């Protein structure tokens, strides 16, 4: 499995995209869909091919000032690695 | 009336015509003819109604969906209705130009079938010279992925006794095509596949080896290729959750516009299927007698009715229950708790252990077809 580093730029894999409605967005992929609210949605909205992992983590840290710093990095990493294994996110 | 949630996926069998004649095809033996097929405008309305009903995924299948000359228009219409579009295809009838048109129209995902690892044998199973074109097509799909980052790519492999021992070679051959996903689906015994079951059902030992091959491939390809395996239910202890439960998540429209809860439901006698030419999809989903028939748990016999697994497998497959026991309301005989489970035990014993295996495996297509024509029935094409 490809290694996710600070410099990696996560983005949707080919053929995976947002769908549903603005109020209830879903991530669509070949054989399924994930309904995402809260943090998951915020993270994936940053996975548009413009931000590196370090930049995504930095933005989240700014947004969630109260969260312990190392935790955000670790949680984002696990989340993106899971989606990578499902071939939804590339980096 | 059992209360229902909205469907999540629509399976559109847009035609039964197909240039392949695969021996494992699960299409019904009585195929819908071309002149009965729904018109483009009908399909586009069905797609709009499906999206309004909450459907997210549209699976375009057949037969061979590419046999419809209006496929580009259908995909554009489906995307306009905000559906995720999946094309399930043999690839025959897809030129590089037409593929580009489909992608331009908004095709999200293409699922390309393969029959075996080598050309002669693959063509023998398909009953057509198809393998070489599939390889060429895979390269064009790859171009769309690398150049414009579009189109998810799944390779689909239907596995049965005649190719299961080549599974490792098949995985290696298909891996070289750079798919995102590999679907390794054991044949399901409906339609033509049921007719050919004695030549297709693998032995337990073959299955165990195949499971080990898939597990090793999953480990090796993690993060590169996602592998999904559909296990052969004849060798399982419990039935599959067919269609995610009857009238619960999916609906299928056949080429003539009939709405079915499952692609094989047409075999069940006495069922009345409403047609999208006469009713809206919403009305059909809520009210059609066929969708009500086995929705929920009221229809369940014992041992399903009091079984903890009924919320996982929904009593298994109604069509299979009918095909094997003559009663669509019986517990799926695949279940080891089913009163008629011996039917499966006998099939596995008789078909798989003493069944036929041809002696030649690798020869030019015309020789295989000539020598082994009587070995199984190729799926025909509708008139």
Phi, psi for residue B351 in degrees, rounded to 5: -70, -45
Q: In what order do the strands lie in the sheet with B152-159?
A: B226-230, B181-186, B152-159, B109-114, B84-89, B57-61, B9-13, B250-253, B259-260
CA nearest to B142 within chain A: A14
Q: Would the CB atoms of B152 and A14 count as touching at under 8 Å?
A: yes
Identify the pLDDT of residue B249: 94
Least confident of B112-121, B247-256, B329-338, B373-382: B373-382
For tokens 């018109």, what's the residue? B39
B238 lies within 8 A of chain A by CB: no
- What is the Cα gyration radius of chain A? 13
Give the pLDDT score at B207.
Answer: 92
- Is residue B182's pLDDT more than 70? yes
Does the pTM exceed 0.90? yes
Taking the C-alpha atoms of residue B102 and residue A59, their distance in angstroms, rounded to an integer, is 38
Question: Is B220's Cβ below 8 Å from some Cβ in A?
Answer: no
pLDDT at B56: 96
Span B316-322, average pLDDT: 95
**Better-scored residue on pLDDT, B79 or A37:** B79
Range 7-66 of A in CB contact (< 8 A) with B: 13-17, 19-20, 26, 28-31, 33
Whole-number pLDDT of residue B3: 61
How much of chain A is helix, strand and coil, in % rounded to 5?
A: 40, 20, 40
- Under 8 Å between Cβ of B329 and B301: yes
CB within 8 A of B30, min separation 6: which ones?
A: B266
Residues of A in contact with B152 (CB under 8 A): 13-16, 29-30, 87
Residue B355 has pLDDT above 60, yes or no: no
Q: Which of residues 85-124 of B touch A (CB under 8 A)?
A: 86, 108-109, 111
Closest residue on chain A to B110 (Cα)? A30
Give the integer Cα–Cα distance in Å for B20 and B90: 8
pLDDT at B231: 81
CB B285 within 8 A of CB B274: no
Positive or negative torsion for Cα B327, B329, B331, B332: positive
Query: Is the confidence at residue B366, as pLDDT, over 80?
Result: no
Q: Do A15 and B56 lie within an 8 Å CB cutoff?
A: no
Q: Does A85 touch chain B (CB under 8 A)?
A: yes
In angstroms, rounded to a whole number, what is the distance separating the alpha carbons of residues B14 and B244? 22
Are A26 and B226 within 8 A, CB to CB?
Answer: no
The partner residue sitting opposite A1, judged by closest CB among B108, B153, B223, is B223
What's the gap in Å between the CA of A43 and the closest CA on chain B? 20
Token pair of A91, please? 């980096």
- B287 has pLDDT over 60: yes
Best interface-test mutation with A: which of B55, B84, B99 has the largest number of A CBs within 10 A? B84
**Spans of chain A below 70 pLDDT:** none
Region of B246 (left: φ > 0; alpha: ψ -120 to 50; beta: rest) is: beta
Q: Determine the angle formed by the axes of helices B365-372 and B119-126, rounding to 10 degrees.
A: 40
pLDDT at B356: 58
Mention every residue, 6+ apart, whose C-beta is less than 8 A from residue A9: A49, A50, A51, A52, A53, A91
Shortest alpha-carbon distance between residue B226 and chain A (Å): 6
**CA distance, residue A71 to nearest chain B CA (Å):** 24
């Amino acid at each position: 499995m490809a290694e996710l580093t600070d410099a990696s730029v996560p983005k949707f894999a080919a053929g995976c995209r947002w769908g549903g409605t603005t109020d209830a967005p879903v991530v669509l992929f070949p054989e399924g869909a994930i309904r995402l609210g809260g943090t998951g949605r915020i993270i994936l909205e940053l996975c548009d091919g413009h931000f590196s992992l370090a930049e995504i983590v930095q933005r989240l840290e700014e947004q969630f000032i109260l969260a312990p710093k190392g935790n955000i990095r670790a949680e984002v990493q696990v989340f993106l690695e899971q989606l990578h294994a499902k071939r939804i996110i590339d980096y | 009336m059992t209360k229902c949630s909205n469907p999540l996926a629509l399976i559109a069998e847009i035609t039964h015509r197909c240039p392949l004649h695969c021996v494992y095809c699960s299409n019904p033996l009585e195929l819908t003819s071309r002149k009965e097929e729904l018109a483009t405008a009908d399909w586009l309305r069905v797609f709009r109604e499906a999206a309004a009903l909450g459907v997210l995924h549209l699976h375009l299948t057949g037969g061979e969906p590419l046999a419809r000359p209006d496929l580009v228009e259908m995909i554009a219409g489906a995307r306009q209705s905000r559906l995720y579009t999946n094309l399930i295809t043999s690839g025959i009838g897809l030129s590089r130009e037409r593929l580009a048109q489909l992608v331009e129209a908004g095709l999200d995902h293409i699922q390309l079938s393969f029959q075996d690892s080598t050309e002669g044998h693959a063509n023998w199973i398909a009953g057509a010279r198809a393998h070489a074109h599939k390889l060429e097509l895979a390269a064009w799909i790859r171009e769309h992925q690398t150049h414009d980052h579009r189109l998810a790519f799944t390779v689909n492999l239907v596995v049965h006794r005649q190719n299961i021992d080549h599974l490792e070679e098949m995985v290696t051959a298909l891996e070289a095509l750079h798919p995102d996903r590999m679907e390794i689906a054991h044949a399901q015994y409906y339609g033509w596949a049921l007719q050919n079951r004695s030549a297709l059902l693998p032995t337990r030992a073959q299955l165990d080896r195949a499971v080990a091959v898939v597990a090793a491939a999953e480990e090796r390809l993690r993060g590169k290729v996602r592998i999904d395996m559909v296990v052969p239910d004849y060798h399982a202890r419990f039935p599959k959750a067919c269609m995610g439960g009857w009238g619960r998540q999916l609906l299928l429209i056949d080429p003539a516009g009939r709405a079915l809860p499952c692609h094989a439901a047409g075999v069940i006698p006495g069922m009345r299927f409403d047609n999208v030419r006469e009713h809206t999809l919403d009305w059909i989903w809520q009210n059609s007698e066929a969708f009500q028939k086995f929705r929920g748990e009221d229809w369940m016999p014992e041992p399903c009715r009091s079984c903890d697994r009924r919320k996982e497998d929904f009593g298994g497959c109604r069509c299979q229950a009918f095909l094997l026991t003559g009663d669509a309301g019986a517990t799926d005989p695949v279940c080891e708790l089913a009163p008629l489970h011996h039917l499966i035990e006998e099939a596995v014993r008789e078909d798989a252990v003493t069944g036929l295996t041809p002696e030649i495996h690798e020869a030019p297509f015309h020789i295989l077809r000539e020598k082994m024509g009587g070995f199984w029935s190729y799926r025909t094409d509708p008139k």
